């Protein structure tokens, strides 16, 4: 490393900081703290970090614009139209004056070119503008043009002397960056951010290393990384912007897929699986004597796929997708019996106590005549009842444990855990799931189940490291649920229909989105709904249960139990019954204020009925004022029972944010790509990532070394779990 004199060291510090020099010398300048970029400093650096998460040069470089203002041409004043558009005009300021108005003053400049004149107007910062404006000098102004009578005006224009405009980076399309109110109030405007990024390009001389192989660039006709970054921030035209966006989207998705696929390959080759060598007595006995219905072809196919995994030397990591009522639990049970036949224990984890109880009761009933021990462990199980469960788990007497997050506690130790089934996986964090791996000397086989059908493009992004099985048909004898949309004005007809169903011996769910009346939202609330139903369906002829999330667990269980036993005909509830309730006699699901629910939730709620052989109904109740998106959701629900079709519509309507029924805002923390809009780019990225790993698994070939380096830098700083929240 060259030596610097004391004087030169001080001089360099003043130019940008010793750290910046060190970073540049190590060719790792993108990791330089943002405070050392000229124009930033400590205060702005703190703001950029707290508001936008920008800490380094690299973070700022990846703060991509979300739209652009086209500056490809200069407009003549004499040709201006009253369009309200943002335009760029070249001319001179020939006169400045202050105009009194009702509140305060405004500063008005007369701006002219060879075709006419217009006004530039400022309502604040008069002193600074007066001191800095140069009369009769050529300026380029940019802003929104308004017309008052015959005069055009531009309030608070962006201004730049022509000579500065020509000396700077040639920006023909102005980038508009995402920002916050706090940044704007602190003076970090869009113009400031744009200037900072220009400064970054100047300081680094746009010397950004390539991250994709020449082979890929040539095959897909992509521009270089440096050209892409320049044209995403400062595009010269629409064509170059399109090329830059494609290049950066492809790269981002390519490396996400590379990580997922590599993780999957490593797991299959390096993480040894527990050997399930035989299909034994318990599996065969259950299949021949206790199966409650004939398996569908889809269930048989999935069980075969899982048996192949369990019989291999690698650890299984499989996602089981199945629509509501498709029979995933039977598949999970048969897999757990395979584990028991091979001398291992199994556990089934559910996200809520209601669902855990449902699974436990269902499995207990199915295993009633078999020599299989099963226990339930949830947060509400008393300490005295937990002790024997812990002891039986550790000494191997207990075969199957069903539970909630309580299963992850350190006190819970298995004798020999062979299979972990995780239901509704998206409700468990990555760290929580990894705890299961440490419950055994060798990691157990993992079967992840979800009743929320996920479109294939999303599934391969979120679960690209898992093998995917799909149960895509319902058990025989199930009648499709009839779904209708009714407005509040039809409520009396709906009540008559409910009474007819109850006379036939059926039961009814009525679901509300709120527990108490909200001043902000004009929707039916649960308590008000309960009272109106109680008036319409009076005692003693009718019995009504009520269940919501603010009730004590014992009260909730008591009301649920009454409904399950048929002691009550109507269950009034919030979405607490979205999962985990199985009452075959319930034939009607009424969803109040249905416009408030996403398609995923509506579909899950509808799945609470249709569990028996009788015809079931779902009634979507709404007011008359509906958004176009709400209408699309309701029309889709009425049209189809296919969960996968609903998921595709939901994905297009709302993006991946809330697809899985819980708040999953930003499932993929991507900088520029969008897995909904860019699914073709995603498919292409996955294809090329697969081809690359197939041809060169360790990325050792000379033409792949650039990808190997970029991949290494990426996983060092941010694993795939940084992308998947």
441 lies in the same domain as 336? yes
Q: Could you tell me what percentage of the chain is helix, strand and coil, using 3-state DSSP and rounding each to the nearest 5?
A: 45, 20, 35
Residue 195, token pair as written in the block:
């200037």
Q: Based on the number of CB atoms within 10 Å of its own CB, is 432 exposed (0-12), middle (13-18) or buried (19 or more)?
A: middle
Last residue of a domain, one of 615, 640, 665: 640
Q: Are 591 and 565 in contact, with CB atoms under 8 Å apart?
A: no
Q: Based on the number of CB atoms within 10 Å of its own CB, is 42 exposed (0-12), middle (13-18) or buried (19 or more)?
A: exposed
Q: What pLDDT does 433 receive?
A: 59
Instruction: Name the nearest CA neighbour of 296 among 478, 452, 456.
Output: 478
User: From residue 211, how far is each of 97, 228, 258, 547 by CA, in Å?
Assistant: 55, 12, 13, 55
Residue 494, token pair as written in the block:
């709906």
Q: What is the pLDDT of residues 159-184, one digit of tens each?
A: 999 988 887 766 667 888 998 888 88
Residue 670 in domain: no
356 lies in the same domain as 298? yes
Residue 245 in domain: no
The partner residues of 483 in beta bridges, in order of sequence, read 618
User: From residue 607, how far is each of 314, 587, 618, 678 by CA, in Å?
Assistant: 35, 11, 9, 31
End-to-end, the C-alpha distance of the chain in Å comes to 42
Residue 149, token pair as written in the block:
């009578």
Interatomic CA distance for residues 322 and 299, integer angstroms: 10
534 lies in the same domain as 561? yes
419 lies in the same domain as 504? no
Q: Which DSSP letter does residue 525 get?
A: B
Q: What is the pLDDT of residues 434-475, one digit of tens each?
A: 676 677 777 889 898 887 666 655 666 666 667 888 888 877
Task: Write the secondary structure of 161-206 as one string of H (helix), E (strand) and C (coil).
Answer: EHHHHHHCCCCCEEEECCCCHHHHHCCCCHHHHHHHHHHHHHHHCC
Question: What is the average pLDDT score of the chain?
Answer: 83
Last residue of a domain, one of 586, 620, 640: 640
Nearest 10 degrees: CA dihedral of 195, 198, 200, 206? 170
Residue 399 in domain: yes
Angle among Cα 55, 43, 181 to the nearest 5 degrees reads: 80
Residue 6 in domain: yes
62 lies in the same domain as 151? no
287 lies in the same domain as 357? yes
Collect the ranges in the chain with pLDDT lower than 70: 1-28, 83-84, 169-172, 425-434, 436-437, 452-465, 514-524, 576-581, 654-669, 676, 717-725
Buried b (16+ CB within 10 A) or exposed e, 220-256: eebbbbbbbbbbbbbbeeeebbebbbbbbbbbbbbbb
| Count of domains forming the chain | 4
Nearest 10 degrees: CA dihedral of 713, 715, 721, 725? 10
Residue 472 in domain: no
Q: Which residues does 499 contact at the CB level (< 8 Å), separation at least 6?
A: 537
CB atoms within 10 A of CB 542: 17
| CB-side neighbour CA atoms (13 Å) of 55 | 3
- The CATH number of residue 418's host domain is 3.40.50.300
> For the whole model, what pTM was predicted?
0.63
Q: What is the pLDDT of residues 109-126, one digit of tens each?
A: 999 999 999 999 998 888
Instruction: For 350-398, give the DSSP string.
Output: -SSHHHHHHHHHHHHHHTTTSS--EEEE-TTS-HHHHHHHHHHHHHT--
**CA-based R_g, the chain, Å:** 32
**Tokens 């897929």 — which residue?**
257
Residue 14 in domain: yes
Residue 626 in domain: yes
Q: What is the maximal distance between C-alpha atoms in the chain?
A: 98
Instruction: Name the nearest CA neighbour of 276 among 306, 318, 310.
Output: 310
**Tokens 């078999």 — which residue?**
370
Could you give the 3-state DSSP secondary structure of residue 669?
coil
Q: What pLDDT does 614 receive?
A: 84
Residue 151, token pair as written in the block:
């005069």
Q: What pLDDT does 490 receive?
A: 93
Residue 570 phi, psi (nearest 5):
-125, 130
The partner residues of 222 in beta bridges, in order of sequence, read none
6 lies in the same domain as 138? no
201 lies in the same domain as 148? no
Nearest 10 degrees: CA dihedral of 255, 261, 263, 266? -130
Give residue 620's domain range: 482-640
163 lies in the same domain as 84? yes
Q: Which residues does 353 contact at the CB level (< 8 Å), separation at least 6?
A: 378, 379, 380, 404, 553
532 lies in the same domain as 551? yes
Residue 91 phi, psi (nearest 5):
-175, -160
Residue 542 phi, psi (nearest 5):
-125, 145
User: From residue 302, how far is each of 446, 640, 684 by CA, in Å?
Assistant: 14, 24, 27
573 lies in the same domain as 623? yes
569 lies in the same domain as 612? yes
Instruction: Name the nearest CA neighbour of 344 among 292, 240, 423, 419.
Output: 419
- The CATH number of residue 127's host domain is 2.40.50.140
Residue 406 phi, psi (nearest 5):
-60, -25
Angle among Cα 402, 406, 411 to the nearest 5 degrees reads: 105
317-322: strand order across its sheet:
374-377, 400-403, 345-349, 417-423, 445-450, 317-322, 467-471
Q: What pLDDT does 457 receive?
A: 57
Interatomic CA distance for residues 301 and 224, integer angstroms: 46
Last residue of a domain, one of 400, 435, 450: 450
Q: Are 586 and 481 in contact, with CB atoms under 8 Å apart?
A: no
Interatomic CA distance for residues 722 and 666, integer angstroms: 11
Residue 375 in domain: yes
């Amino acid at each position: 490393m060259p030596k610097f004199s004391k004087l030169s060291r001080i001089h360099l510090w003043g130019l940008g900081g010793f750290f910046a020099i060190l970073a540049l010398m190590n060719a790792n300048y993108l990791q330089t703290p943002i405070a050392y970029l000229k124009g930033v400093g400590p205060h702005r650096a703190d703001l950029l970090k707290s508001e936008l998460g920008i800490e380094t040069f690299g973070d700022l470089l990846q703060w991509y614009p979300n739209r652009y203002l086209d500056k490809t041409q200069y407009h003549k004043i004499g040709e201006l139209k009253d369009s309200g558009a943002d335009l760029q005009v070249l001319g001179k300021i020939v006169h400045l004056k202050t105009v009194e108005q009702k509140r305060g003053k405004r500063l008005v400049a007369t701006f002219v070119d060879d075709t006419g004149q217009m006004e530039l107007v400022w309502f604040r910062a008069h002193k600074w503008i007066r001191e800095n404006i140069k009369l009769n000098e050529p300026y380029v102004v940019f802003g929104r043009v308004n017309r008052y009578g015959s005069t055009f005006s531009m309030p608070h224009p962006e201004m730049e002397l022509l000579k500065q405009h020509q000396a700077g980076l040639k920006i023909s399309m102005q980038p508009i960056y995402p920002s916050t109110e706090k940044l704007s109030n602190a003076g970090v405007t869009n113009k400031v951010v744009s200037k900072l990024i220009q400064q970054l390009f100047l300081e680094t001389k746009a010397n950004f290393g390539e991250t994709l192989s020449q082979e890929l660039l040539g095959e897909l006709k992509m521009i270089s990384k440096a050209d892409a970054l320049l044209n995403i921030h400062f595009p010269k035209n629409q064509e170059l912007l399109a090329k830059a966006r494609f290049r950066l989207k492809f790269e981002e998705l390519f490396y996400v897929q590379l990580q997922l696929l590599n993780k999957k390959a490593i797991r299959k080759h390096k993480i040894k699986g527990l050997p399930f060598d035989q299909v034994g007595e318990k599996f065969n006995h259950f299949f021949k004597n206790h199966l409650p219905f004939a398996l569908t072809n889809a269930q048989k196919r999935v069980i075969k796929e899982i048996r192949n995994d369990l019989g291999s030397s690698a650890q299984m990591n499989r996602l089981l997708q199945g629509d509501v009522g498709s029979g995933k639990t039977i598949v999970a049970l048969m897999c757990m019996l395979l584990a028991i036949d091979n001398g291992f224990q199994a556990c089934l984890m559910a996200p809520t106590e209601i669902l855990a109880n449902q699974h436990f009761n269902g499995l207990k009933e199915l295993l009633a005549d078999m020599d299989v021990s099963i226990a339930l462990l949830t947060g509400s199980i008393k300490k005295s009842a937990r002790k024997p469960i812990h002891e039986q788990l550790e000494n191997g007497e207990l075969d199957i444990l069903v539970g909630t997050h309580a299963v992850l506690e350190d006190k819970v130790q298995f004798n020999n855990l062979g299979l972990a089934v995780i239901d509704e996986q998206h409700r468990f964090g990555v760290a929580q799931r990894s705890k299961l791996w440490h419950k055994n000397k060798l990691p157990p086989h993992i079967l992840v189940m979800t009743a929320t059908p996920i479109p294939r493009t999303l599934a391969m992004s979120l679960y690209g490291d898992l093998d995917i099985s799909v149960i895509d048909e319902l058990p025989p004898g199930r009648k499709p649920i009839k779904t209708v949309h009714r407005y509040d004005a039809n409520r009396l007809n709906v009540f008559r229909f409910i009474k007819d169903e109850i006379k036939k011996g059926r039961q009814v769910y009525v679901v509300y989105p709120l527990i108490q009346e909200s001043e902000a939202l004009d929707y039916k609330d649960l308590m008000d709904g309960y009272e109106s139903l109680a008036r319409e369906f009076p005692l003693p002829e009718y019995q009504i249960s009520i269940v919501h999330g603010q009730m004590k667990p014992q009260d909730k269980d008591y009301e649920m139990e009454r409904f399950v036993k048929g002691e009550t005909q109507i269950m009034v509830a919030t979405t607490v019954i979205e999962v985990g309730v199985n009452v075959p006699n319930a034939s009607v699901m009424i969803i109040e204020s249905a416009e408030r629910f996403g398609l995923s939730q509506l579909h899950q709620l509808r799945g609470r009925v249709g569990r028996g052989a009788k015809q079931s109904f779902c009634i979507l109740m709404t007011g008359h004022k509906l958004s176009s998106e709400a209408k699309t959701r309701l029309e889709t629900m009425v049209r189809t029972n296919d969960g996968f079709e609903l998921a595709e519509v939901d994905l297009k309507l709302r993006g991946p944010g809330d697809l899985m029924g819980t708040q999953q805002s930003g499932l993929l923390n991507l900088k520029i790509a969008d897995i909904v809009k860019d699914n073709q780019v995603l498919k292409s990225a996955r294809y090329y990532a697969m081809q690359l790993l197939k041809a060169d698994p360790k990325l050792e070939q000379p033409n792949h070394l650039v990808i190997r380096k970029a991949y290494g830098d990426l996983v060092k700083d941010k694993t795939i779990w940084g992308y998947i929240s």
